[in-house]
């Protein structure tokens, strides 16, 4: 039987991976895209149709047209960035994921409560700079893609940098010295099983470039670390630490079912951690959807290969989940 659904997403972030995965699982595919991106997407053989918008924030103007096309929308980072939480909530189209999670993710205090309830180790957080232990990283509440952050080595440094930081609310967090490690998970409410899909590290400018200049050469020039993500690279975790990474993911899911609602968090999510020399994970953020770091693994990862024995990206895993839900007549359980 021909699959009656079309998988649709906005043309950016991880759209290629999502739509390739959807095609591999037998769905029709559609991209909502701007004129700038259209010629590029047209070169991709797995995208069946295109709906154009002037900007991604105009998504609501094409909703009616999409309703007729029997689409299932797969959200990614651009959905929140361009439409805001309210825009996501208002969307009438069948949407993969639990929208109730959005508020818990967006508010740094609620997110912290959730991660604490999951018994994760978190970087210290300080109400005022007087109480801080240094170094610290200062984050705007809406910071994204590493923009809206600064590093401060002491109080004087903080006071200097805060002057040009703008007025919106910020958080002062302990800067954990270790290696950044992003773990990509997928939780299926159909099987009640958590999978580790892949892992990445971000390539951030200029913090990843500073190490190329010896500290003696840095002295006297004004450079502060900044954290703008420009790429991602693949990682595998020391095998003896995998069970801890897995257990953290499970505790996140359990806590979400208690704090958010019965369904809690499901589908893809990512824990952003720093690992210290004592092999401890400090979780500093959770992303509750597919993350761009999974784009490395269009052909699957060292972990997804173990579960599936076939190329299984996170994008394809989402489509597989939707396909399984259709087969089991449980689609409603995973759509919002
Ligand atoms: P975004 O909100 O864009 O996802 P992140 O929260 O991932 O940004 O932070 C951007 C970068 O800042 C991280 O990749 C990491 O390098 C660094 N970072 C964030 N929090 C900490 C922390 N508490 N200790 C050390 N580094 C951190």
**pLDDT tens-digit map of 23-55:** 999 999 999 999 999 999 999 999 999 999 999
**What pLDDT, on the 0 to 100 scale, is given for residue 149?**
86
The radius of gyration of the chain's CA atoms, rounded to the nearest angstrom, is: 21
The response to whether residue 105 sits with its C-beta less than 6 Å from ligand 1 reads: no
**What pLDDT, on the 0 to 100 scale, is given for residue 1?**
57
pLDDT band for 143, please (50, 70, 90 cuts). low
Report the helix count and the strand count for the chain, using DSSP H and E. Answer: 13, 13
Q: Which residue's CA is the nearest one to ligand 1's atom 10?
A: 146
| % the chain with pLDDT above 90 | 87
**What pLDDT, on the 0 to 100 scale, is given for residue 89?**
96
Ligand 1 pocket: which of 124, 145, 285 to mutate (most atoms within 8 A of CB): 285
150 in Cβ contact with 163 (< 8 Å): no
Residues 6+ apart with CB under 8 A from 103: 85, 110
Average pLDDT of 261-285? 97
C-beta atoms surrounding 300 within 10 Å: 21
pLDDT in tens, 216-225: 998 888 888 8
Q: Which atom of ligand 1 is nearest to the CA of 202?
A: 14
pLDDT at 142 over 80: no
Ligand 1 pocket: which of 122, 136, 149 to mutate (most atoms within 8 A of CB): 149
**What pLDDT, on the 0 to 100 scale, is given for residue 256?**
98
The response to whether residue 272 sits with its C-beta less than 6 Å from ligand 1 reads: yes
**What pLDDT, on the 0 to 100 scale, is given for residue 332?**
96
pLDDT at 72 over 70: yes
Average pLDDT of 167-186? 94
- Cα angle, residue 104 at apex, residues 101 and 107 outer, rounded to 5°: 145
> What separation in angstroms does the CA of 260 have from each of 101, 266, 283?
7, 12, 19
Separation of CA 132 from chain center: 28
**What pLDDT, on the 0 to 100 scale, is given for residue 144?**
72
- The CA distance from 172 to 140, in Å, is 9
Residues 6+ apart with CB under 8 A from 68: none
Ligand 1 pocket: which of 177, 272, 287 to mutate (most atoms within 8 A of CB): 272
Query: For residue 176, how far is its CA from the centre of ligand 1 (angstroms)?
Result: 10
Average pLDDT of 240-263? 98
Query: For residue 75, how far is its CA from the centre of ligand 1 (angstroms)?
Result: 22
The response to whether residue 145 sits with its C-beta less than 6 Å from ligand 1 reads: yes
Q: Which atom of ligand 1 is nearest to the CA of 282?
A: 23
**What pLDDT, on the 0 to 100 scale, is given for residue 3?**
79
pLDDT band for 123, please (50, 70, 90 cuts). very high
33 in Cβ contact with 56 (< 8 Å): no
Task: Give the closest residue to 316 by CA, choosing from 43, 29, 48, 95.
Answer: 29
pLDDT at 66 over 60: yes
Query: For residue 165, how far is its CA from the centre of ligand 1 (angstroms)?
Result: 17
Query: For residue 284, how far is its CA from the centre of ligand 1 (angstroms)?
Result: 7
**What pLDDT, on the 0 to 100 scale, is given for residue 140?**
85
**What pLDDT, on the 0 to 100 scale, is given for residue 309?**
96
The response to whether residue 284 sits with its C-beta less than 6 Å from ligand 1 reads: yes
Ligand 1 pocket: which of 140, 143, 180 to mutate (most atoms within 8 A of CB): 180
pLDDT at 145 over 80: no
Average pLDDT of 95-121? 96
| Range from 70-84, 166-180, 267-281 carrying the lowest mean pLDDT | 166-180
What does the DSSP 8-state code read for residue 239?
G
What does the DSSP 8-state code read for residue 263?
S
The response to whether residue 269 sits with its C-beta less than 6 Å from ligand 1 reads: no
DSSP annotation string for 284-330: EEEE-S--GGGGGGTT--TTHHHHHSS---HHHHHHHHHHHHHHTT-
Residue with tokens 């037998």: 26
Hey, is 255 helix, strand or coil? Answer: helix
User: Which residue intervals of 91-179 are DSSP H helices?
Assistant: 101-106, 108-117, 155-162
253 or 225, greater pLDDT: 253
The response to whether residue 142 sits with its C-beta less than 6 Å from ligand 1 reads: no
Query: For residue 290, how far is its CA from the centre of ligand 1 (angstroms)?
Result: 17
Hey, is 234 helix, strand or coil? Answer: strand
312 in Cβ contact with 320 (< 8 Å): yes
* Mean residue pLDDT across the chain: 95
Cis bond upstream, residue 51 (ω within 30): no
Hey, is 64 helix, strand or coil? Answer: helix
Which strands, in side-by-side order, build the sheet including 179-188? Answer: 227-234, 193-206, 179-188, 267-275, 281-287
Query: For residue 4, how far is its CA from the centre of ligand 1 (angstroms)?
Result: 41
> What separation in angstroms does the CA of 8 have from each of 82, 98, 126, 196, 322?
16, 17, 42, 25, 13
Average pLDDT of 116-136? 96
Q: Which residue's CA is the nearest one to ligand 1's atom 21?
A: 175
**What pLDDT, on the 0 to 100 scale, is given for residue 77?**
94
């Amino acid at each position: 039987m021909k699959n009656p659904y079309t998988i649709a997403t906005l043309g950016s972030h991880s759209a290629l991976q999502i739509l390739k995965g959807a095609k591999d699982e037998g769905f029709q595919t559609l991209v909502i895209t701007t004129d700038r991106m259209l010629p590029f997407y047209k070169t991709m053989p797995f995208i069946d149709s295109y709906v154009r918008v002037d900007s991604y924030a105009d998504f609501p103007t094409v909703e009616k047209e999409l309703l007729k096309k029997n689409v299932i929308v797969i959200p990614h980072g651009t959905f929140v960035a361009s439409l805001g939480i309210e825009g996501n909530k208002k969307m009438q189209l069948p949407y993969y994921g639990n929208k109730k999670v959005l508020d818990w993710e967006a508010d740094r205090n609620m997110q912290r409560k959730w991660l604490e309830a999951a018994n994760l180790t978190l970087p210290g957080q300080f109400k005022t700079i007087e109480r801080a232990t240094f170094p610290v990283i200062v984050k705007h509440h809406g910071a994204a893609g590493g923009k809206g952050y600064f590093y401060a080595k002491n109080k004087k440094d903080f006071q200097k940098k805060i002057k040009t930081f703008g007025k919106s609310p910020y958080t002062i967090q302990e800067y954990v010295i270790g290696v950044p490690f992003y773990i990509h998970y997928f939780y299926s409410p159909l099987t009640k099983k958590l999978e580790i899909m892949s892992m990445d590290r971000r390539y951030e400018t200029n913090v990843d470039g500073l190490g190329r200049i010896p500290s003696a050469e840095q002295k006297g020039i004004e450079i502060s670390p900044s954290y703008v993500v420009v790429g991602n690279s693949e990682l595998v975790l020391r095998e003896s630490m995998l069970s801890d990474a897995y257990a953290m993911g499970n505790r996140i899911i359990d806590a979400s079912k208690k704090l958010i609602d019965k369904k809690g968090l499901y589908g893809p999510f990512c824990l952003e951690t720093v690992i210290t020399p004592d092999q401890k994970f400090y979780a500093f953020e959770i992303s509750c959807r597919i993350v761009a770091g999974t784009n490395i693994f269009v052909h699957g990862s060292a972990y997804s290969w173990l579960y599936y024995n076939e190329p299984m990206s996170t994008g394809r895993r989402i489509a597989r989940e939707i396909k399984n839900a259709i087969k089991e007549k449980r689609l409603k359980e995973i759509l919002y």
